[in-house]
C-alpha cells in the first residue's frame, strides 16, 4: 500500500521562501508498484531557474553563509543530520513510494547514508586546509581555498536522498550556495530534505530547490551564473553536460554509469561471495551504478557458482516494496522495465544461457516488476556484458586463468567499481591494483565515505568523499605575503 506521507507540492524553494512557480506546468510522480499517480510537483521553467540562480548568487555575494566560520556551518549541517534521523521513517517511506526501493533498504541504506555522509564530511572538513602558509626561497604565500561559487547539484532517482547529501554537504561546507535539481521521478524526498535544512537554520538562498524536465535542466547547467556542476546519472547525459560545461570552462564532477566486474578467484570462499552479491549485485532492484553485474568466475567452478547463485536469488522475495520481507521490488518506471526486458531478449538472442528469471514474476500483474535474471556462459563482448542494464540482471562469465579474468574485468568502457574475492588478501590487493576502475572492494569490504569515490573511462570524472570530495568545491588563491606575516600566520 502507499505511504501516508506522499502529497502534492505547489511551490518551489527560492531565496529562503516557498514560492509559486512561474508557470502552472506540473510533474506527476507515479508509483512503480501501483502504476498510479501518488503526487505532483511544479515543473520549473527557465524563469524559475533564473530566479533560483539569482537567489544563490545573492546569498554567495551578500549572505552570511560563505563568511560564517567552518564550525558555524558544521553546526547547521549537524542539526540537519539530527532532523534526518528524527524524520527517518517518513523519508524512507517517501523513497519507497516514489522509486520502489524495498523498505528495509530504504531504512538501512537510503536514509542511513545521508547521516553517515554528514559525519564523514564534517570530519574531513575539520582537517581540510582551507587556509595554509607556504614558504620558499623566492616568496611566501597564504594559500586560500575559497568557495567555488554557485553549484548546480543534479541528482538521479535511484539513490535520491544519499546523492542529495553527497553533493549538497561538501558544497555547503566549502561555503558555496546551491541550486538543487532532483529527478522528476523522485522529487518528494528532496522537498522533505530541503524543509529540514530550512528548519536547521540554513540561511536564505544557500539552497534552492527546482524540479525540471530535460530541456530546463540543460538550461540550469548552462546558466552563466553557475560556477560548478555536480551530476550523477547516465554516461550519455554526462557527456551532454560535459559538452555544455566545457564550452564555458565550468567546473564539473561526473559520477556516471558502470558495468562493474566481480572477479572470483579460484580460492575464493563462495559463502563470502554470495553474502556480498546479495546486495552487491541486486540492491535497489538492480538500479545502482556500482553494482557488480559481471560475475567473472573460474570455468571449472562455474557450475558450483551458478548453483549457489541460483539458491541465493531464489531466497530473495520479490513483491510489494513496502513489505519488510521484500528484497526485490519494481523498477522505477515502465520505460525502465521495457529497457531491461529488451536487454534480456538480447542476452538470449546473442547466445547466453538463461539460468533463471527472464520474465515478469507470477502473481504480480500490476507494478513494473522484472524477475531477477541470471545468464551464464556469457561472451565478454556480448551486449549484456558491455552495456549498463540497470535492472536485476547479472552475467556470469567464465575464465581459464587469472590474466584472462583481469582482461575480462578491464574489457569495458566503464570503470566505476569492481570486486575481488580471494582468501589470499595480499594477492587480492595486487589483483585489485590491476583492475582499471575507481573503486575495488576486496571480499565485499566497502571503502567508506572517507575514501575518494568516482570513475574512470565512461564512468565519469572527478571524485566525491574524503578531501578529494571537497576539492571540487573550492577555488585556490595564492596571496603573496611578507616573511613577517608568514611567521605570524
pLDDT in tens, 160-217: 999 999 999 999 999 999 999 999 999 999 999 999 999 999 999 999 999 999 999 9
What is the structure's pLDDT at 174?
Answer: 98
Which domains does the chain carry?
Answer: 12-256+456-478 (3.40.605.10), 260-442 (3.40.309.10)
Q: How far is CA 46 from CA 56, 67, 207, 216, in A?
A: 15, 30, 18, 6
| List of residues 6+ apart from 463 with CB closer than 8 A | 253, 438, 452, 453, 454, 469, 471, 472
What is the structure's pLDDT at 5?
Answer: 56
Write the pLDDT tens digit of every residue in 298-325: 999 999 999 999 999 999 999 999 999 9
Does 2 have pLDDT greater than 50?
no
Task: List the 474-481 sheet strands across, edge first.
Answer: 131-136, 139-147, 474-481
What is the structure's pLDDT at 61?
Answer: 97
Write the pLDDT tens digit of every residue in 99-149: 999 999 999 999 999 999 999 999 999 999 999 999 999 999 999 999 999
Catalytic: which of 185, 198, 289, 371?
Answer: 289
Placement of cell 558502470 in the chain: 258
Catalytic: which of 185, 255, 341, 388?
Answer: 255
For the question of residue 176 being annotated catalytic, the response is no
| List of residues 6+ apart from 186 with CB closer than 8 A | 29, 95, 98, 99, 157, 160, 332
What is the structure's pLDDT at 6?
Answer: 65
SS (H, E, C) the chain: CCCCCCCCCCCEEECCEEECCCCCCEEEEECCCCCCEEEEEECCCHHHHHHHHHHHHHHHHHCCHHHCCHHHHHHHHHHHHHHHHHCHHHHHHHHHHHHCCCHHHHHHHHCHHHHHHHHHHHHHHHHCCCEEEEEECCEEEEEEEEECCEEEEECCCCCHHHHHHHHHHHHHHCCCEEEEECCCCCCHHHHHHHHHHHHHCCCCCCEEECCCCHHHHHHHHCCCCCCEEEEECCHHHHHHHHHHHHHCCCEEEEECCCCEEEEECCCCCHHHHHHHHHHHCCHHHHCCCCCEEEEEEEHHHHHHHHHHHHHHHHCCCECCCCCCCCCECCCCCHHHHHHHHHHHHHHHHCCCEEEECCCCCCCCCCCCCCCCEEEECCCCCCHHHHCCCCCCEEEEEEECCHHHHHHHHHCCCCCCCEEEECCCHHHHHHHHHCCCCCCCEECCECCCCCCCECCCHHHEECCECHHHHHHHHEEEEEEEECHHHHHHC
The closest alpha carbon to 330, from 305, 352, 303, 361, belongs to: 361
Write the pLDDT tens digit of every residue in 232-271: 999 999 999 999 999 999 999 999 999 999 999 999 999 9
For the question of residue 245 being annotated catalytic, the response is no
What is the structure's pLDDT at 92?
Answer: 97
Main-chain dihedrals φ then ψ at residue 365, nearest 5 degrees = -70, -25
Write the pLDDT tens digit of every residue in 361-410: 999 999 999 999 999 999 999 999 999 999 999 999 999 999 999 999 99
Write down the mean pLDDT value for the chain. Answer: 97
What's the mean pLDDT in 459-463?
97
Placement of cell 545573492 in the chain: 58
User: Using CA atoms, how far apart are residues 235 and 294, in angstroms rounded to an integer?
Assistant: 18
CA 80 to mean position of chain CA atoms: 20
Does 16 have pLDDT greater than 50?
yes
Give the model's confidence band at 4: pLDDT under 50 very low, under 70 low, under 90 confident, else very high: very low
Give the model's confidence band at 7: pLDDT under 50 very low, under 70 low, under 90 confident, else very high: confident
Amino acid at each position: 500500500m502507499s505511504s501516508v506521507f506522499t502529497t502534492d507540492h505547489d511551490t518551489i524553494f527560492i531565496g529562503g521562501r516557498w514560492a509559486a512557480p512561474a508557470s502552472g506546468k506540473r510533474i506527476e510522480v507515479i508509483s512503480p508498484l501501483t502504476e498510479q499517480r501518488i503526487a505532483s510537483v511544479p515543473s520549473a521553467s527557465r524563469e524559475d531557474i533564473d530566479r533560483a540562480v539569482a537567489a544563490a548568487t545573492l546569498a554567495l555575494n551578500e549572505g552570511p553563509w560563505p563568511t560564517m566560520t567552518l564550525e558555524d556551518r558544521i553546526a547547521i549541517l549537524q542539526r540537519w543530520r539530527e532532523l534526518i534521523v528524527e524524520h527517518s521513517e517518513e523519508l524512507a517511506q517517501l523513497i519507497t513510494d516514489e522509486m520502489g526501493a524495498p523498505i528495509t533498504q530504504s531504512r538501512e541504506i537510503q536514509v542511513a547514508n545521508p547521516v553517515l555522509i554528514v559525519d564523514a564530511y564534517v570530519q574531513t572538513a575539520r582537517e581540510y586546509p582551507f587556509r595554509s602558509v607556504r614558504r620558499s626561497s623566492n616568496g611566501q604565500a597564504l594559500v586560500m581555498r575559497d568557495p567555488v561559487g554557485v553549484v548546480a547539484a543534479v541528482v538521479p532517482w535511484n539513490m535520491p536522498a544519499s546523492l542529495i547529501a553527497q553533493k549538497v554537504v561538501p558544497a555547503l561546507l566549502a561555503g558555496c550556495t546551491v541550486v538543487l535539481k532532483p529527478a522528476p521521478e523522485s522529487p518528494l524526498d528532496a522537498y522533505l530534505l530541503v524543509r529540514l535544512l530550512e528548519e536547521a537554520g540554513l540561511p536564505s538562498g544557500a539552497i534552492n530547490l527546482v524540479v525540471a524536465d530535460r530541456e530546463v535542466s540543460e538550461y540550469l547547467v548552462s546558466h552563466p551564473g553557475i560556477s560548478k556542476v555536480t551530476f550523477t546519472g547516465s554516461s550519455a547525459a554526462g557527456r551532454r553536460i560535459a559538452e555544455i560545461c566545457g564550452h564555458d570552462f565550468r567546473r564539473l564532477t561526473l559520477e556516471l554509469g558502470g558495468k562493474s566486474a566481480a572477479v572470483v578467484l579460484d580460492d575464493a570462499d563462495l559463502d563470502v561471495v554470495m553474502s556480498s552479491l546479495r546486495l552487491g549485485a541486486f540492491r535497489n532492484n538492480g538500479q545502482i551504478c556500482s553494482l557488480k553485474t559481471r560475475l567473472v568466475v573460474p570455468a571449472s567452478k562455474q557450475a558450483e557458482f551458478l548453483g549457489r547463485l541460483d539458491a541465493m536469488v531464489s531466497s530473495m522475495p520479490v513483491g510489494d516494496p513496502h513489505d519488510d520481507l521484500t528484497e526485490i521490488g519494481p523498477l522505477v518506471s515502465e520505460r525502465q522495465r521495457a529497457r531491461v526486458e529488451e536487454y534480456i531478449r538480447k542476452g538470449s538472442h546473442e547466445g547466453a544461457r538463461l539460468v533463471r528469471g527472464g520474465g515478469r514474476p507470477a502473481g504480480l500483474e500490476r507494478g513494473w516488476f522484472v524477475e531477477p535474471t541470471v545468464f551464464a556462459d556469457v561472451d565478454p563482448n556480448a551486449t549484456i556484458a558491455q552495456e549498463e542494464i540497470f535492472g536485476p540482471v547479472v552475467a556470469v562469465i567464465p575464465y581459464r586463468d587469472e590474466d584472462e579474468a583481469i582482461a575480462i574485468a578491464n574489457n569495458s568502457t566503464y570503470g566505476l567499481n569492481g570486486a575481488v574475492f580471494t582468501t589470499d588478501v595480499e594477492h587480492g590487493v595486487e589483483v585489485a591494483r590491476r583492475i582499471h576502475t575507481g573503486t575495488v572492494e576486496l571480499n565485499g569490504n566497502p571503502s567508506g565515505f572517507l575514501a575518494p569515490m568516482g570513475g574512470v573511462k565512461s564512468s565519469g570524472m572527478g571524485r566525491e568523499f574524503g578531501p578529494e570530495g571537497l576539492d571540487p568545491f573550492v577555488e585556490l588563491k595564492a596571496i603573496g605575503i611578507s616573511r613577517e606575516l608568514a611567521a605570524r600566520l
